[in-house]
Amino acid sequence: MQLLTKFASFALAVVMGSAALATDQVPRSGRITIHVEDGGWGTARIQDMEKVLGSVADVLLPYFPQRASDRITVEYSKQGPLILPGKFHNGAHRVLLNVKDTRWDQFAYQFSHELCHIFTNFEHREISRDTAGRDHQWFEEALCEAVSLIALNRLASSWEHSPPYPGWEEYAPAFREYADRLLDQRRPRMQPGAPVAQWYRANQMDLNANPYLREKNEFLAARLLTLLENTPGSLEAIGYLNLEGSPSSKSLSAYFESWYSRCPEKYRAFIRQVIALFDERDTSGETAVALILL
């Protein structure tokens, strides 16, 4: 694997850097509090994981200042990556990750996806892997997949100049390489020219029955990624998703209309572009969402 030599050469810098700054564990003002539970992480050190996950939060939090006081507890589990319903007694969200050793790119990739669920207000609806089809969760899953790729690239840029420990800037390219490799693996099935509205009509029943269909989520994530990267205010806009709880029977047009109505005008351009992707009558014959909102 291309990154194996980089990981091997990086190991010494990890140990030295963590030893030098291990006492710097107090979150800065306006920074999400992240606590990693011990157990199951292989050779990864708790303080190093908290630094890495804190870096992930730092590159995204400026777009979601309303979440600056959030608390997150992270545990290792083979069931991860997953964010659990409910919170601990101290109000902390519960995130499970399935990564071992010092694979910081995978830590960042998994954590940023689950962080996106927090930022898109998942707690306003019931969430469980055993309860499928409610609240158009397939859309949120695709959106969080796209955000995780953005986080990897922004983390690479951040660590080039401001890594969590001295010497860790050598690892920065690994985040970008991992994002590129994920995109390369998915490109053959992305069907870039396929209309999203047509794709949605063909897959609507499957998406509502199981929002975790990875290949379908990745198709939509690729289209959303382009919009997120090129539309001002796109990340801010997703912070207004799911502010109104909705049952699974609520139409996609109503779901988008709720999002649009709760979002400030200055961030609505991204939502309008998302709506345009689905701009056809759905299977129930409703008026196109774009015509409702634009």
* pLDDT-flagged residues of the chain (< 70): 1-30, 124-135, 188-193, 245-249, 280-294
pLDDT at residue 189 in the model: 62
Q: What is the pLDDT of residue 191?
A: 63
pLDDT at 35: 96
The pLDDT assigned to 125 comes to: 60
**Model pLDDT, residue 251:** 86
Report the length, in residues, of the chain.
294
- The residue type at 13: A
pLDDT single digits (tens) 13-26: 333 333 333 323 33
pLDDT of residue 240: 96
Beta strands in 93-222 (DSSP E): 93-97
Q: Which residue, 50, 273, 268, 60, is CA-closest to 150?
A: 60
**Total H helices, total E strands in the chain:** 11, 4
pTM for the model:
0.83
| 59 Cβ contact partners less than 8 Å away, ≥ 6 residues apart | 151, 154, 155, 158
- What per-residue confidence (pLDDT) applies to 85? 84
- pLDDT at residue number 196: 92
Query: 219 with 199: CB under 8 angstroms?
Result: yes
Question: 């919170």: which residue's tokens?
Answer: 87
Q: What is the pLDDT of residues 71-90, one digit of tens each?
A: 999 999 999 999 998 788 78
Taking the C-alpha atoms of residue 205 and residue 47, their distance in angstroms, rounded to an integer, is 44
DSSP per-residue codes, 138-167: HHHHHHHHHHHHHHHHHHHHHHHH--SSTT
What is the structure's pLDDT at 244?
78
Q: Which of 31, 66, 73 is nearest to 49 (CA)?
A: 73
Place of tokens 């991992």: 178
Task: Compute the distance between CA of residue 181 and CA of residue 164 in angstroms, rounded to an integer.
Answer: 24
**Distance spanning both ends of the chain, measured CA to CA:** 48
> Which residues does 52 contact at the CB level (< 8 Å), separation at least 6?
104, 107, 108, 164
Cβ 174 vs Cβ 105: under 8 Å: yes
Domain coordinates in residue numbering, the chain: 4-131
Can you tell me the distance from the alpha carbon of 193 to that of 59, in angstroms, rounded to the nearest whole number?
31
> Beta strands 71-76 and 33-36: pairing type?
parallel
